[in-house]
Amino acid sequence: MSASLSRFQFETACKAYIAAHTTQPSDDASTTAVYPVGWTWNKHACVPGLGFMSRSVALSVKAVEAAEGDHELELLSDSTEDEAAASESREVLTCIQSVVYSPTFQVPAFYFTIHRSNGVPLNLSEIMASSLLRRHAVPLSNTTTFALSEHGASFPLLSQGDHPVLGTPAWYFHPCHTPEAVGEVVSELQYKGGTKEQILVRWMEVWFMVIGQIVDLHRGL
């Protein structure tokens, strides 16, 4: 199995993944715990073959006063709030996540936006302070208003740009290192047997595991 996908394989893989991982409880509870659910397939309004996966995740946010007197954002899952936290005033955030095909690198790319209840998007510093990102996995980097870059890297790790299909502003993780990260695992998938769709589902599962090292894909679920 290749470490890259054609656009047709991407669409097939996404649809097969959605069918395999629905929001309904799985017979294997560990599967639901590992792979994110709630995705839908979105067709392009005019151009066939430009579809993508997306989902909307509701998050809670609480302003926490830091020792320096600044305020950072701490995203909380509703399922883990205790009574004390529930009694505090919290703002609901909406996180829109997309899995889009990158024709340049021939792999999926993860795009997202986080908005406040009044429609105002979070800036990069607020996103970095949130628990959407796994802080231990985000190295000390060069940060600007529009990008987060690792020292010496050719491409930003996280940057802002237009959604490839919708054309709206979004944040995305650059997919330049995805083929090598996924390739270490997917080369073994073809030896496990199964149909082409089953192999493509495993490909997407590996990709989500790679992305999940940086993003908490279960936050808010």
Quick one: which H or E segment has residue 92? strand 91-102
**CA–CA separation, 8 vs 66, rounded Å?**
48
**How many other C-beta atoms are found inside a 10 Å radius of the C-beta of residue 166?**
17
pLDDT digits (tens, 9 = 90+) for 93-122: 899 999 999 999 999 999 999 999 899 999
Structure confidence at residue 129 (pLDDT): 77
Structure confidence at residue 68 (pLDDT): 36
pLDDT digits (tens, 9 = 90+) for 161-211: 999 999 999 999 999 888 888 987 877 766 677 888 998 999 999 999 999
Has residue 86 got a pLDDT over 80? no
Conformation bin of residue 61: beta by default, left when phi > 0, alpha when psi is -120 to 50: beta
Maximal C-alpha separation, the chain: 57
Structure confidence at residue 128 (pLDDT): 82
pTM exceeds cut of 0.85:
no
